[in-house]
Amino acid sequence: MRRELIFILLISSSLISQNNLLKQEKTNPLDIPIILSGTYGELRSNHFHSGIDIKTKGIQGLNVYSYASGYVSRIKVSHGGYGKALYIKHPDGNTTVYAHLKKFSRKIEEIVKSKQYKRESYEIEFFPKENEISVLENEIIAFSGNTGGTSGPHLHFEVRDKNQIPINPLINSSIYIEDDRTPFFKKLFYKSYDSNNVFDSQTELKINKITSSLYVSDTLKSSGKIGIGIVAFDKHNRANNSNGIFKIITSLNNQNLLKILFDSISFDKTKHINTFIDYSFFKNHKIRIQKLFIEENNPLDLYSSNINNGFIAIKNKEFYKYEVKIYDANGNKSKLVVPILGVKTNKPLKLVNNHVELTYIERDKKYELEFNSVRVSILEETFYKNLLLEAKFENDILSIDKDTIPLLKPITIYFNTDRYNDSIKNQLYIAKLSDNKKMTSYNYTTDFSNGKKSSTKSLGRYTLGVDTINPAISPIGFKENDWISNFSNLKIKVNDVGSGIRSYNGWINNKWILFELNTKKGILVYDFDDNIVRKAKNNLHIEIIDNVGNRTEYKTTFYRKSN
């Protein structure tokens, strides 16, 4: 009887396990093993990553499946950001998001294209009603791609709660990731603070790896108020890329100080990544140090078990044991032990803001910085704290400190253009200069009473640029009067060397056609399946306008076997 009971339990356990595996396979948005190139909460430029990035073997066109039944609640198509994105609302109130798609399933694609043609716009956003586009669990809803702001083909997948706050899919869904590898520490830093909260530059401590999950640093020798930061990552099975970690817990002499959990980050808080990391150090060294302490005016709600905001107070000649534990979403963990010896240091702190021409900025006040023909407007609470700001205007270049200070709000720059000839005023724009002053990039510019203005969320060097060159247009693979019956699409190369392309439109036989711009390659693509071409001789007309209004038109004739 006992053997029979054990046998039944084993069979039941096996069936449950198989059912779990089936559910995992069934609820995956792709029908290939899930391997990630990015995790939730990962540190990105000016934001925390709001989902997971699933590898698609470096190719496009893989089937994308609905995670669960529901209805399409939002569709957005844009050149940047998520590119082609689909939002599905589920009965439990959550929403799943599928982004950077190549195209949608047939039934959804037809609806999207009909609206694009009606509005005569590639970029589009709309919100279908609950009974308009229903989907079933595991239904093909789209095909993976590389649209929007991507560096390679992949599927971005999100889970959002009923309040549209992104939550960690590896904790809040049945997505299964094969991962038994421990996260790892790469670097360790600390800062010393004085009684006025003025801090020293980052000091690095050497880390020694003892086992795959245990690290011990060199002894930290200092005294007073200390803030510690780490550079740490995770790796998954079958992939060697570094991903973000899920949880951090710090302690001092076995008493917990701070817990950081990457499980729920709202879009209105994600920009505060620039106070979670050492922004200045990142801009100077391209390394993101995660602060294990909370500085003033940090509104992130990632933190719990908070004692003294994670800072530690070191007394002279006393010993301490500081520990950092890091976890991934599968529960794998690693520990770093930092021995600390209280040692008085007489060296003066090196001030971070070591400038010559400085303006003291109080964060709760407005400021108007006036220069010859240039003005800078700063709103209240633009910065995280009071600071000394270097700003000057020399040789037609406005320098607003360096891009090592994070902004909470954009600042507005005004350039007076009275000294320019009327013939080129419309072709002026505000541009940001690179650090070496050799490259300029267009900053969205509008007119004001006697000049140009632009808002920006990064400090640095700005100047007035002028763009008198029209965009360039050239066909790919065909010339005027060619027969192109074997072409499945029409490709046009477009380029602008000055301010960049603002808008484009195309017509065949005076009918507007849907061109899709591949912003990475500068290629316009029209799909002949849209069925606009219905006769042999066809007149093509393309218009490109850049960001200051320079316009180029291209006209040609091609032939194609009629339907």
The answer, yes or no, to whether residue 18 has pLDDT greater than 50, is no
Are 202 and 77 members of one domain? no
CATH at 553: 2.60.40.1220
d(CA 365, CA 346): 36
Closest CA to 145 of 77, 239, 198: 77
How much of the chain, in percent, has pLDDT values that exceed 70? 92
Residue 270 belongs to a domain: yes
Domain residue limits at 538: 472-559
Tokens 């830093």 label which residue? 189
The answer, yes or no, to whether residue 346 has pLDDT greater than 80, is no
Residue 342: both structure tokens together: 């209280």
Are 153 and 30 members of one domain? yes
233 contacts 240 by C-beta, under 8 angstroms: no
Are 166 and 56 members of one domain? yes
The DSSP-derived string for 436-469 is TSS-EEE---EEETTEEEEEESS-EEEEEEE--P
**Chain centre distance of CA 388:** 29
Residue 19 belongs to a domain: no
Residue 351 belongs to a domain: no
Give the number of C-alpha atoms closer than 13 A to the C-alpha of residue 316, restricted to the C-beta side. Answer: 3
Amino acid at 557: T
Please, what's the b/e burial string for 315-337 (b: 16 or more CB within 10 A of its CB; e: otherwise)? eeeeebebbbbbbbbbebbbbbe
Secondary structure class of 500 (helix, strand, coil): coil
Are 308 and 431 members of one domain? no
CATH at 218: 2.60.40.10
Q: Give the number of residues written for the chain.
A: 563
In this prediction, residue 358 carries a pLDDT of 86
Are 479 and 454 members of one domain? no
Q: Partners of 393 in the beta sheet?
A: 398
Amino acid at 27: T
Amino acid at 304: S
340 contacts 219 by C-beta, under 8 angstroms: yes
Strands 220-222 and 333-342: parallel
Query: H-helix or E-strand containing 272?
Result: none
- 3-state SS, 367-427, equals EEEEECCEEEEECCCCCCCCEEECEEEECCEEEECCCCCCCCCCEEEEEECCCCCHHHHCC
Q: pLDDT tens digits, residue range 364-396?
A: 999 999 999 999 999 999 999 999 999 999 999
Strands 84-89 and 95-99: antiparallel
CATH at 121: 2.70.70.10
Q: pLDDT tens digits, residue range 453-505?
A: 999 999 999 999 999 999 999 999 999 999 999 999 999 999 999 999 999 99
Are 242 and 105 members of one domain? no
DSSP single-letter state for residue 308: G
| pTM beyond 0.85 | yes
Please, what's the b/e burial string for 440-460 (b: 16 or more CB within 10 A of its CB; e: otherwise)? bebbebeeeeebbbbebebbb
pLDDT confidence of 356, banded at 50, 70, 90?
low
In this prediction, residue 431 carries a pLDDT of 96
d(CA 63, CA 61): 6
Q: Region 515-535: what's the mean pLDDT? A: 93
In this prediction, residue 173 carries a pLDDT of 87
Phi, psi angle pair for 25, to nearest 5°? -65, -40
Say which range, 21-25, 233-237, 422-426, has the weakest mean pLDDT: 21-25
Are 35 and 154 members of one domain? yes
Domain count of the fold of the chain: 4
Amino acid at 451: G
Instruction: Mark which of 466, 487, 514 sits at the end of a domain.
Output: 466
Instruction: Mark which of 423, 449, 466 sits at the end of a domain.
Output: 466
Amino acid at 403: D
Residue 16 belongs to a domain: no
Residue 375 belongs to a domain: yes
The total of other beta-carbon atoms located within 10 Å of residue 351's CB is 12
534 contacts 460 by C-beta, under 8 angstroms: no
Residue 20 belongs to a domain: no
Q: Region 509-529: what's the mean pLDDT? A: 95
d(CA 390, CA 422): 33
The total of other beta-carbon atoms located within 10 Å of residue 144's CB is 28
Residue 234: both structure tokens together: 């995770």
Closest CA to 229 of 295, 155, 141: 295
181 contacts 234 by C-beta, under 8 angstroms: yes
Q: Partners of 303 in the beta sheet?
A: 260
Q: pLDDT tens digits, residue range 112-167?
A: 999 999 999 999 999 999 989 999 999 999 999 999 999 899 999 999 999 999 99
Residue 126 belongs to a domain: yes
pLDDT confidence of 201, banded at 50, 70, 90?
confident
Are 280 and 391 members of one domain? no
Are 250 and 274 members of one domain? yes
Are 105 and 210 members of one domain? no
The DSSP-derived string for 5-64 is HHHHHHHHHHHHHHHHHHHHHHHSSSSS---EEE-TT-EETTEE--SEEEE-TT-S--EE
The answer, yes or no, to whether residue 452 has pLDDT greater than 60, is yes
Closest CA to 432 of 454, 406, 408, 452: 454
pLDDT confidence of 196, banded at 50, 70, 90?
low
304 contacts 154 by C-beta, under 8 angstroms: no
d(CA 449, CA 123): 31
Residues 6+ apart with CB under 8 A from 436: none
Are 535 and 499 members of one domain? yes
- Both ends of the chain: CA-CA distance in Å? 75
pLDDT confidence of 17, banded at 50, 70, 90?
very low
CATH at 406: 2.60.220.30
Alpha-carbon radius of gyration of the chain: 28
Residue 75: both structure tokens together: 């569709």
Residue 10 belongs to a domain: no
Are 206 and 338 members of one domain? yes
Instruction: Mark which of 342, 367, 394 sits at the end of a domain.
Output: 342
Burial of 175 (0-12, 13-18, 19+ CB in 10 A): buried
